[in-house]
A and B are shown apart, each in its own frame.
Chain A
Amino acid sequence: QSVLTQPPSVSGAPGQRVTISCTGSRSNIGAGYDAHWYQQLPGTAPKLLIYGSNNRPSGVPDRFSGSKSGTSASLAITGLQAEDEADYFCQAYDTTLSGAVFGGGTKLTVL
């Protein structure tokens, strides 16, 4: 069981908007620590998508956005494209571990 909880899968048609939730606890997101998001395409390493809950590294399209509230965070993807089909992971710092904790990952299928 992962410390952060994500839905196993989400899906959407091209052009649609999808959101992926990430539920934590008072020792990580709820303690005020930022959530971060990674995209993992099949057979590749995770890639930073969102940091600091709602910041995009250069090169990441503005179709991707993040938010945080209480003990949870969310990733929103608008204008879905076939190339967005991937696994998405959330991550946060955890005071119990004194390190990084991850969500179990959400597989996005573009219909």
Chain B
Amino acid sequence: QVQLQESGPGLVKPSQTLSLTCAVSGGSINSGDSYWTWIRQTPGKGLEWIGYIYYSGSTYYNPSLKSRLSLQVDASKNQFSLKLRSVTAEDTAVYYCARGRSDYSYYMVDWGSGLTVTVSS
């Protein structure tokens, strides 16, 4: 089982950029059968898929976030990251990184423990 751990600031000011990192252990980020995914959860909107990045660098983003979002992979550190620009209070959420697979369409096999991010001045 692959372990994932999110890290980053718990508080971000409005209009700034949210930057999170997900460290992967127990497996290689270069695995061709994994889709490195970000998901967030709020009490109001529930679970929201943010996007995923493949080890090759190809990405798929939620259209609602695409204009502000950037996902990257750092194979040398076995980690991937998220940058969300121009944040507002609506971006306050628990952010999860996850390992996705596609052998039975697309689903999340392993999840990080989650990181609470609050957007506030």
Interface residues of A (CB under 8 A from B): 2, 33-34, 36, 38, 44-48, 51-53, 55, 57, 89, 91-93, 97-105
Contacts and interface: CB of A to CB of B under 8 A. Distances in A.
B106 A100 contact: yes
Interface string B86-115: 000000000010001001111111111110
Nearest to B112: A45
A100 B104 contact: no
Interface string B44-63: 00111101100000001111
A45 B48 contact: no
Contact of A102 (B47, B60, B110): B47
B8 to A, nearest CB: 16
Given A33-B106, A103-B46, 11 more contacts: A2-B46, A34-B104, A34-B105, A38-B108, A44-B113, A45-B96, A47-B111, A52-B104, A55-B104, A92-B105, A100-B108
Interface of B: 37, 39, 46-49, 51-52, 60-63, 96, 100, 103-114
Which 7 A/B pairs are nearest by Cβ-Cβ distance? Answer: A52-B104, A36-B107, A102-B47, A100-B49, A93-B105, A45-B111, A93-B106
Residue with the highest number of chain A CB atoms closer than 10 Å, among B100, B107, B108:
B107
Contacts, number: 72
A36 B109 CA distance: 10
B113 A99 contact: no
B111 A34 contact: no
6 contacts: A2-B46, A48-B108, A48-B110, A52-B107, A53-B104, A98-B60
Residue with the highest number of chain A CB atoms closer than 10 Å, among B47, B60, B112:
B47
